[in-house]
């Protein structure tokens, strides 16, 4: 697993352009038709997957596109070509299992650094949301890879370990556990400090499980936008 900063493009396809402008240098590698194993607590998340990523180590960025979302691989390629950015594309055989985003998972934000939490809380406050729940003990992981033809095993390309999350009315902020750089992980005190600085009402929930299901998420989010 890498420690690159994650941009997960989901309900707001226009955010792809913002993510792409973070690319300053280095080689861009686009992987498509990826498998996605995603777990929060003890629950496998089957209705929110990411099947396309752009990986750029030099620019410290990993852009993930939601499977079935409006933002497409072709949008990334067009931007790179229009801006004379180097890239290479690796496309695997499409997965054959049936998939449909059930619109029951809120927007997911992946927070490696404090600024992501601050941006997430500010985005919610603009929509009139002033309350959150912080679950410091919930763990999880997301792994992106491909299935080999030889023995049908899943090979990982990238992924993230999660320790803790913030649940808001319009989004879930997943706290990234940097396994290769633990001294830079966001800790309990720093997260609480950020919440208080943003004048948010909150509860700390010590459970190891969390229900993130919310029906008609896109309608709810767009109405708040």
pLDDT 10s digits, 13-71: 999 999 999 999 999 999 999 999 999 999 999 889 999 999 999 999 999 999 989 99
Whole-model pTM: value is: 0.93
Residue 222: predicted pLDDT: 55
What token pair was written down for 62? Answer: 């990993």
Residue 215: predicted pLDDT: 85
CA distance 48 to 106: 9
Identify the band that residue 92 occupies on the pLDDT scale cut at 50, 70 and 90. very high
H or E stretch at 25:
none
Q: Give residue-wise pLDDT tens across range 2-12.
A: 789 999 999 99
With H, G, I as helix, E, B as strand and everything else as coil, classify residue 164: strand
- Could you tell me the CA-to-CA distances from 198 to 97, 117, 129, 131, 221 in Å, in that order? 43, 10, 12, 11, 21
Lowest-pLDDT range, 19-28, 105-114, 172-181, 190-199?
Answer: 172-181
């Amino acid at each position: 697993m890498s420690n690159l900063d994650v941009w997960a493009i989901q309900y707001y396809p226009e955010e792809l352009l913002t993510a792409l402008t973070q690319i300053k240098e280095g080689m861009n590698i686009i992987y498509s038709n990826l498998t996605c194993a995603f777990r929060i607590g003890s629950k496998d998340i089957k209705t929110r997957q990411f099947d396309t990523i752009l990986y750029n180590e030099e620019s410290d960025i990993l852009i993930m596109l939601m499977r079935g979302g409006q933002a497409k691989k072709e949008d990334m390629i067009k931007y790179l070509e229009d801006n004379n950015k180097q890239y290479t594309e690796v496309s695997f055989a499409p997965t054959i299992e049936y998939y449909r985003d059930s619109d029951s998972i809120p927007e997911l934000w992946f927070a490696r650094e404090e600024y992501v939490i601050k941006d997430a809380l500010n985005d919610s406050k603009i929509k009139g949301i002033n309350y959150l729940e912080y679950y410091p003990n919930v763990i999880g992981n997301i792994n992106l890879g491909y299935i080999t033809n030889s023995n049908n095993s899943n090979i990982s390309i990238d992924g993230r370990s999660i320790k803790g999350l913030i649940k808001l009315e319009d989004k879930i902020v997943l706290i990234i556990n940097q396994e290769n750089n633990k001294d830079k992980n966001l800790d309990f005190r720093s997260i609480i400090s950020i919440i208080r600085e943003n004048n948010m009402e909150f509860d700390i929930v010590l459970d190891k499980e969390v229900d993130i299901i919310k029906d008609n998420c896109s309608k709810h989010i767009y109405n708040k936008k």
